[in-house]
Amino acid sequence: MLSSTAKNLYWMGRYLQRAKTTARLIEATQRMALQSRGKEAEGVVAIFGMEDEFRQSQSQEGQMQGQRQGHRLADLVDFLAFDETNPSSIVSSIGSARRNAREERNNITVDVWESLNGLWLELSGKLRGDRATLDRGALIESVKKQAVMIVGAAQVTLLRDEAWNFMQLGAFLERGDNTARILDVKYHRLMPDGSPQAENLDYFAWSELLACIGAVRTYRRIYRSSLDPRKIAELMMLRRDVPRSVHHCLWMVDASMRELADAYGTRGEADRLAGELHARIRYARIEQIYDIGLHRFLGGIRESLATLSDEIGRQFLLD
């Protein structure tokens, strides 16, 4: 497979996953705004590492009018969902995924292309209209549902070849990084000392942390107990049977790398890094992680994911 083809499919998977994650985060943030005192904006942009960009947009707006809580939340939604200058926004991610897919029409099915193209046409059409009358909540919900449909179309129609494996590789790398970021930022905003125990647990806030990965009911099925910070961290990091956990994502990354190694007949540094990272999370125990420090452990995972991404670029994508 040409490196340019592999690159398009890899980034198509990443951008679609990024759009879904952003939509979930926005929904959770809006729900939290009904219960808290309006500090959600800083936490959400910290997940994407875009605090400076958001503050700059706020300072420019603040020159014209006061910073009210409702206004700030609306700005956050616009920044994360509809700001085309923000490369992590929903509209930017969907647009980039569509451009990658358009280049690879021969490597994806009609169902995948039409689902993705239809979402882009709906999103861009509504954003060209009057923003004052735009139902932002409904549009974000539509993006989330249709992104799931695109992934579903890929799941049931794509040939399990190199194209599929590069899409999976991109999607699960992005998802694993997103989950690690969400847990790191939100956990330490709720528990600044990183403690595994909370005397006065904010049930709604911890539920929203699980909602960011769609795992509220999953937690109840697995643990059949009240919410516990240690168990939430364990679920989001170490449960391989939870589709958005870090462990599941690294398992799928390693599996995709092994499939590509078999297809190419060679293995490189990226293969070694993928296996090492999967083993690190596979054999980790939650008690050991808290002994190390949750923030430190997650920071190490995120750094290793970034290193793996760079090495995949060098090995396959000629970056």
% of the chain with per-residue pLDDT over 90: 63
More confident residue, 61 or 30: 30
**How do the residues of the chain divide into helix, strand and coil, expressed in percent and rounded to 5?**
75, 0, 25
Q: What is the pLDDT of residue 267?
A: 93
Q: Assess whether pLDDT exceeds 70 at residue 208.
A: yes
Q: What is the pLDDT of residue 164?
A: 95
Q: How far apart are alpha carbons 240 and 78 in whole angstroms?
A: 34
Q: What is the pLDDT of residue 62?
A: 52
Q: How far apart are alpha carbons 114 and 207 in whole angstroms?
A: 35
pLDDT category at 136 given cuts 50, 70, 90 is confident
Give yes or no for a contact between 9 and 170, defined as CB atoms under 8 angstroms apart: yes
Compute the mean pLDDT over every residue in the chain, rounded to the nearest whole number.
88
Q: What is the pLDDT of residue 85?
A: 85
Q: What is the mean pLDDT of residues 81-100?
A: 91
Q: Is 16 helix (H, G, I), strand (E, B) or coil?
A: helix
Give yes or no for a contact between 204 and 35, defined as CB atoms under 8 angstroms apart: yes
Q: Assess whether pLDDT exceeds 80 at residue 71.
A: no
Q: How far apart are alpha carbons 124 and 128 in whole angstroms?
A: 6
Report the phi/psi class of residue 265: left, alpha or beta, with left for phi > 0 and alpha for psi in -120 to 50: left
Q: What is the pLDDT of residues 33-64, one digit of tens each?
A: 666 555 555 567 677 776 666 767 666 555 44
Report for 57-61, 141-145, 225-229, 269-273: range of highest mean pLDDT: 269-273
Q: How far apart are alpha carbons 186 and 205 in whole angstroms?
A: 9
Q: Assess whether pLDDT exceeds 60 at residue 204.
A: yes
This model's pTM is above 0.75:
yes
pLDDT category at 190 given cuts 50, 70, 90 is confident
pLDDT category at 287 given cuts 50, 70, 90 is very high
Q: How far is CA 259 from the centre of its chain?
A: 23
